[in-house]
Structure 1
Amino acid sequence: MRFPALTALVLGAIVACAFAPLDAWWAAFPALALWMALVHAAPTMRQALWRGWAFGVGHFTINDNWIQHAFTFQDQMPPVLGYAAPFALALYLAVYPMIAAGLAWRVRRARIDTAWVLFFAAAWIASEWLRSWVFTGYAWDPLGVAWLGLPLDDMALLARDIGTYALSGVFVLFAGALLLAARRRRALPVAVVALLLVQVVRGALDVPPSQATTAPRVVTVQPDVPQDQRGESDQAMMLARLVRLSGRPGAVPRLVLWPEGVIRDFIEDDYPLWVYGDTSPWATRARMASVLGPRDLLMTGGTALQFDRRGDVATATNSVFVLDHRARILRRYDKAHLVPYGEYLPMPWLLRPLGLSRLVPGDMDFLPGPGPRTLNLPGFGAIGVQVCYEIIFSGHVTDRARRPRMIFNPSNEAWFGTWGPPQFLRQAQLRAIEEGLPIVRATPNSNTSVISADGEVLGNVPHHRAGAIDLPLPPARPPTLFARVGNAMAAIVALLLCAGAIAMRRRRG
């Protein structure tokens, strides 16, 4: 092949199309298989690494193209930089497919065999796991998420047992089986077809958890507020729209859920008066609580401030507040996994002199919270919270000491364009499957949804529409194997694949 690196770049771009909104899985499997063959054919380690890196550049440039849209909503950097941002990020993220390619090339033999495909899948699992935590992690769209785009998405149910990163390894196994089938090697193709059939039967026989007759209701609201209409001058309009869409109290307790990034006024008491301006925190909370009955609660995104000894604002947290019908704040959750360049600027000593800034309004970095916490809400029990970006981190979305009955995922995807929101929804679906917990999402204008513990979307408000979903709180499943073991399952599956590959090699000599 005359231009292997360019070919790898194109193949990476094709594999990226397996994710929402395109769901072109039918092209992704052969493209991934061809890239694996390209890595195997590399004459040197350097060439294998180069082909792995080129694949990653193509893959992540296409998959993360929604980042460009974020530059539209800030004025401290030229918006034209947004067109270069996905490519610039891909230059770094491509390191991880490069690692997988290098590891696989190191153990290759003259011909592509089943053992080598097993090694490649194990290497891919390791590289994705590394990507999820190195430099705070960027766990966006691991390959395992693409299973949800298939017409038969029962393979995604494997996440209950092995989690997302090991599920990505299964995706590589299927691509490798396609490669072996083309070379008339049948063992792995037969095995993956058998696995697919087992999962289809498993999905058909799966019994969903029973719904309690006394289950409270969840009302999750999407006000359809674009990113460029979220300034302070629009707060009264946004609050009125949220109140109107939230409905009225009924006979059954309701947990009313509002998104991140819409309530801009400060609602906590005891701040210096100059912070509030012309608004009153009590009046704002009273207006919010007007949608609640005596047994209802409201959970909403908001901002909490922290002050220094002089009374100046020291820092802030991206928070979720719980209000009752008397407009009292009962609980607060502070987001722990913050978005680089969104909620804080990494390495400001280097980046600010270069003219780089955060992509959201304001110059103050947010302070991270302590991590996943379960909130005990009167009448509703244990409720987990993961704000926006936090939901993409497999194995880090629940408080292991106290398992919740539901996860609330308020999010603001109004600055993610048209590609980001459907990808976000898919990742939340996979978290629900992994943990065996329903997830309820509230966003300003994109894919507000109620997701069952099996990953099924029970209700959804589409992109750029205002609306609300009012459903009984979906039941949780018993803790899944992954919920008990966590991402250790990725290591276990990778080690089993390596052990199987070594056993095959030794048997054949």
Structure 2
Amino acid sequence: MVAAAGFAPLNLWPLTLLAFASWLALVHAAPSLRAALLLGGAFGWGHLGAANLWIAQAFTYQDVMPHWLGVPAVALASLYLALYPMATAGLLWRFGRGARPDLGPDLGYALAASAAWTATEWARGTLLTGYPWPPLATIWLPLLGVAWTAKWVGTYALSGLTVATAATLIPAARGQWRAAAAAGAAIVLLALTGIGGRIEAPAAPNAPRLRIVQPDLDQEQRPRDDYPEANLRALQALGGKPGTAPRLVLWPEGALRYLVEPGAPPYYYWQADAGQIRARIAAPLGPRDIVLTGGDSIGFAADGRINRAANAIFAVDAHGRLLARYDKAHLVPFGEYLPWRPVLSLIGIERLVPGDFDYTPGPGPRTIALPGFGPVGMLVCYEVVFSGHIIDPAHRPALIFNPSNDSWFAQAGPEQHLAQARLRAIEEGIPIARATPTGVSAIIDADGRLVAKTEWNHPGAIEVPIPPAHPPTLFARAGNWLALAVTLLLAATAVAIRRRAR
């Protein structure tokens, strides 16, 4: 559990390195493969269980299941997540210790640990729809220069290099400081590169701007009959006044509880039809402003019954026109759909998000050209955590909009979500704007810096010129093939060290 202290909001990264070093030393000293696997599983269960404990709060919003189930559910889910550190420990004990384990961990062991963790963290973020939360690499964001390594090798490889850094502390405890001193010097040098950084030219007075609105209406208020109207008014109250520069006004995921698309049966429009709602959204906008808002896209069959639902982003211009829609592609299991629904529903398990139907996934990351603002990439909530899968590579955006609704969760969840978005900005060299109903909303530049942000659980708005994008980074060009290349290089170097020792 100490290993999770390096993640946001605590950011105690030295504790994470010490915890990993202790675990790696125990794995090296394990008397058998079975013992190593048990150590890996126990460490993974504690580490990833503590890091994901924020999920438990979501159970308090679902009355179909008992609220007390939150902590046990996280503990059970962490048994699955623990399989990946268990695999790391097994690989490391079997192949990383060398012919003379009695001599203790060495450089070859550190490199093997790095390769194994890179491979298993990638697998955790890929298999069974993937759940990479939280990648170890996020502990470096307080030392931004170290986090910038992700622009060259990606998040998974940076996580592996973090494990190698921790492993160098093991011989240091025996008085062998050379490897630890080299790793420490590298951290210091990289950290220094993140101080100050590039100076961008001031934006022109009429340059397009971003305005993020955070109404601070949480899940407790959703059952109210007047929630749709209260939320729309709260969003518009924080919308600010138009100026000479065009503004992209950003609302959170699920901000609209009204429908904005035509085609619904008359009974499905609560207090106004879609055209009237779009006109209300457009009324306070300047002539070149556009609102991007989260909401539900509902499809209806000929008999008026719902046959499709999508978690969507809508673009509405100052004339009330619906310019575009993006449907979320990477849906959250047990949140936006219930896996194996016929079986699980029979035993009383339902989605954490109340609702009678599952969402339909969209086609994948998309870039939408918005008049006056250029190409904007769209990602809803959870989609931003998947390294290497956040943009349409054929249409590189200049900005990514990532609305989210983290009001279901305890504070660690939103803070960790923001940290992962910052790594995506670094990897791709593209600024990211996050709008959430209760925080943390933020504008992140292409170097992963927080240009502006709101506080958690406070209403507010932020407005700044759109930060510029950088040319494609090495990771943006090669993606997670770089993680594979780093894994193979580390493994090959570890083998070479072993052979030389023999």
Kindly indicate whether the alpha-carbon contact (under 8 Å) linking 2:444 and 2:452 is maintained by their aligned counterparts in 1: yes
Q: For structure 2, list consecutive stretches of 5 or more residues without a partner in the other structure.
A: none
Alpha-carbon separation, structure 2, partners of 1:188 and 1:306: 60
In 1, the alpha carbon distance for the partners of 2:180 and 2:352 equals 46
Cα displacement string for residues 225-283 of structure 1 (whole angstroms, at most 9, x for unaligned residues): 11111345211111111111011211001000000122111110121112213322111
Q: 1:47 aligns with which of 35, 49, 67?
A: 35
Aligned partner of residue 218 in structure 1, secondary structure = strand
Give the aligned residue type for 1:20: A
Determine the C-alpha separation between the residues in 2 that align with 1:132 and 1:443: 24
Shift of 1:201: 4.3
* 8 A Cα contact 1:160 1:481, kept in partner: yes
Q: 1:164 corresponds to which residue?
A: 155
**Same amino acid, percent of matched pairs:** 49
Distance in 2 between residues matched to 1:450 and 1:367, nearest whole Å: 29
Q: Which residue identity lines up with residue 376 of structure 2 in the other structure?
A: I
Q: Which amino acid aligns with 2:216?
A: D
Q: What displacement does 1:290 show?
A: 1.5
State the distance in 2 between where 1:175 and 1:350 align. Answer: 43
Per-residue CA deviation, residues 95-115 of structure 1 (Å, 9 max, x unaligned), is 000011000001213121110
1:218 is aligned, of 207, 210, 213, to 210
Check conservation: 1:259, 1:411, Cα contact below 8 A.
yes
State the secondary structure of the residue aligned to 1:51: helix
Q: Which residue of 2 aligns with 1:180?
A: 171
Alignment of 1:397-408 (within 5 A): 397-408=390-401
**1:489 equivalenced with 2:458 (yes/no):** no
The letter of the residue matching 2:24 is M
Instruction: Work out whether 1:363 is the aligned partner of 2:356.
Output: yes
The letter for the 1-side match of 2:16 is A
Find the residue that maps to 1:84 and give its secondary structure.
helix
Distance in 1, matches of 2:432 and 2:201, equals: 16
- C-alpha distance in structure 2 between counterparts of 1:399 and 1:208, whole Å: 28
Question: Are 2:217 and 1:229 aligned?
Answer: no
Partner of 2:17: 29
Report the AA paired with residue 339 of structure 1: V
Of 243, 259, 272, which aligns to 2:265? 272
On the 8 A contact 2:92/2:116 being kept in 1, the answer is: yes
TM-score calculated relative to the size of structure 2: 0.96
Matched, 1:123 2:111: no
1-side partners of 2:412 and 2:196: how far apart?
Answer: 34
Shift of 1:209: 4.7
Which whole-Å deviations, capped at 9, do the CAs of 1:123-172 have from their partners, x for residues lacking one?
A: 00000000001110001111001111x4x332101011111101101111
Structure-2 residue corresponding to 1:20? 8
| CA distance in structure 1 between the aligned counterparts of 2:367 and 2:323, rounded to whole angstroms | 13
How many angstroms apart in 2 are the aligned matches of 1:93 and 1:208? Answer: 41
The corresponding residue for 1:396 is 389
User: How far apart, CA to CA, are the structure 1 residues paired with 2:200 and 2:386?
Assistant: 25
Q: Give the alignment of 1:140-159 within 5 angstroms.
A: 140-148=133-141, 150=142, 152-159=143-150
Secondary structure of the structure 1 residue equivalent to 2:194: helix
Match of 2:299 among 297, 306, 313: 306
Q: CA deviation at 1:219?
A: 0.4
Show the counterpart of 2:72: 84
Distance 1:189 1:141 in 2: 25
Q: How far off is 1:499 after superposition?
A: 1.5
What is the 5 A alignment of 1:57-68? 57-68=45-56
Provide the rounded CA distance (Å) in 2 between the counterparts of 1:82 and 1:309.
40
- In structure 1, the gaps of 5 or more residues are 1-12
Equivalent pairs, count: 495
Of residues 84, 100, 110, the one that matches 1:96 is 84
Equivalent residue in structure 1 for 2:180, among 175, 189, 198: 189
Distance 2:117 2:272 in 1: 53
For residue 333 of structure 2, what is the aligned residue in structure 1? Answer: 340
The alignment status of 1:74 with 2:62, answered yes or no, reads: yes
Counterparts of 1:120 and 1:159 in 2: how far apart (Å)? 19
Q: Is the 8 A contact 1:67 1:85 kept in 2?
A: no
Aligned residues of 1:123 and 1:494 also touching (Cα < 8 A)? yes
Give the equivalent residue in structure 2 for 1:250: 243
The one-letter code matched in structure 1 to 2:172 is: A
Letter in 1 for 2:470: R
Tell me if the contact between 2:258 and 2:270 (Cα under 8 Å) persists in the aligned partners: no
Query: Cα–Cα, structure 1 residues 81 and 498, in superposed 2: closer, same or farther, change >3 Å?
Result: same
Match of 1:479 among 472, 475, 479: 472
Conserved 8 A contact 2:242-2:286: yes
Q: 3-state DSSP class of the match of 1:462?
A: coil
CA-to-aligned-CA distance 1:272-308 (integer Å, 9 cap, x gap): 1122133221111111112211111110001111223
What is the alpha-carbon distance in structure 2 between the residues aligned to residue 359 and residue 370 of structure 1? 24
Q: Kindly provide the amino acid, as one letter, of the partner of residue 22 in structure 2.
A: L
Question: AA paired with 2:325?
Answer: R
Contact 2:254 2:293 in 1 (8 A): no
Residues 203 and 465 in structure 2, CA contact (< 8 A), matched pair in contact too: no
Distance 1:201 1:423 in 2: 24
The Cα shift of 1:446 comes to 1.1
1:56 maps to a residue whose letter is G
Q: Given the superposition, is the C-alpha separation of residues 490 and 427 from structure 1 closer, same or farther in structure 2, using an over 3 Å criterion? A: same
Task: Give the whole-Å Cα distance in 2 for the aligned partners of 1:227 and 1:34.
Answer: 40
| Distance of aligned partners of 1:395 and 1:209 in 2 relative to their CA distance in 1, 3 Å threshold | farther
Instruction: Tell me how far apart the structure 1 counterparts of residues 116 and 171 of structure 2 sit (CA, whole Å).
Output: 18
Aligned residues: CA RMSD: 1.4
Deviation at 1:206, TM superposition (A): 3.9
Give secondary structure in 2 for the equivalent of 1:322. Answer: strand
Structure 2 counterpart of 1:420: 413
Deviations 1:355-402 (A, max 9, x none): 100011212000000000000001100000110000111111111101
